[in-house]
Amino acid sequence: MKKLYFKQDETNINDLYYDAMELLRGDSNDAKEAERLLTKALKLDEHNVQTHVGFAHVYGFLKNKQKAKKHIEEAYWETLKKFPNWR
């Protein structure tokens, strides 16, 4: 397993996201750990677009198209909430 860069008590969503993306360079066990980190990030902020994009990458890596699509849609809708003029 790759070395993670966040501290055990770190609650920074960006650090969790980037560590999760770094784990995707490994095997499926690392993808499961990436999913765990993103789940932690989602609990901190369920409206974070970057986290949903991360899940889409993880589920794409795991070949779970249904879950990947769900998070792509969530990222889209959360983006529209922040930028309603983009409709």
33-59 mean pLDDT: 96
More confident site: 77 or 9 = 77
Query: 2-6, 22-26, 59-63, 77-81: which range is least confident on average?
Result: 2-6
- Give the pLDDT confidence score for residue 84 in this predicted structure: 87
Report pTM.
Answer: 0.83
The residue assigned the tokens 């409206």 is: 47
More confident site: 60 or 28 = 60
User: For the stretch 47-62, what's the b/e string if a residue is b when 16 or more beta carbons lie within 10 angstroms of its beta carbon?
Assistant: ebbbbbbbbbbbbbbb
- Compute the half-sphere exposure of residue 58: CA atoms within 13 Å on the CB side of its CA: 27
